[in-house]
Amino acid sequence: MTRMSMTNTPQTATIDDAPLVGRTLTRAFDGDPMMRWFFPDDASREEALGRYFTTLFTRQYVHHALCERTASAVSFWVPPEAAAKAVPDEETIQELMGILGDRAPVFGAAVEASAQHAPQEPHWYLALIGADPAAQGQGHGAALLRSGLAQADAAGMPAYLESSKPDNLPFYRHFGFTVREELELPGGGPTLWAMWREPRPTAA
């Protein structure tokens, strides 16, 4: 059995990790269809993504979610009891709209469409997970996914995520997720795959 290195052992992400979080997620999502749809300009995408993810982390998820990181990956999990608090407040929304610029209406429509299809039953929501492509194959993303799923399983709760990158679907299926719905985002946006995983029994 391969021993997990210290660099991909999950640990809690704190506000002091904001630079690492922003940098890691920017690299992870540079090729993501949804992020390229929100930020179509190649010249400004890196800077805009960095601001976008750092804003989400520092203003929203670090306060109301389970945020974990390794040296090269980040995940944000929202347990059911935090679902209402994890919704961005008005000030955060305005900041995000400023970052998105003329793509703000597209973003708003996508968020609204996704919310309409979100499960109503209590669940753990994987809001974001991303690994630096330079560390691909080193187990960083898998370590974070296992960590969050272990906590969902311990609570006896299902898990839910949305992916806009078809290449990621086999990875999630490996951990027990199945496609619940395919959603075509409005305005000619990319396909969003909604995935669901039932809880698994944990060892006593």
Q: What pLDDT tens digit does each residue of the chain (204 aa) get?
A: 344 445 789 999 999 999 999 999 999 999 999 999 999 999 999 999 999 999 999 999 999 999 999 999 999 999 999 988 777 788 888 999 999 999 999 999 998 888 888 899 999 999 999 999 999 889 999 999 999 999 999 999 999 999 999 999 999 999 999 999 999 988 888 999 999 999 998 765
CB 125 within 8 A of CB 160: yes
Expressed in angstroms, the distance from the first to the final Cα of the chain is 23
Q: What are the strands, taking DSSP E only, across 20-176? A: 66-69, 73-78, 124-131, 159-163
Domains of the chain: 6-197 (3.40.630.30)
CB 187 within 8 A of CB 113: no
How far is Cα of residue 60 from the mean position of the Cα atoms in its chain?
13
> CA angle, corner 169, sides to 43 and 39, nearest 5?
15
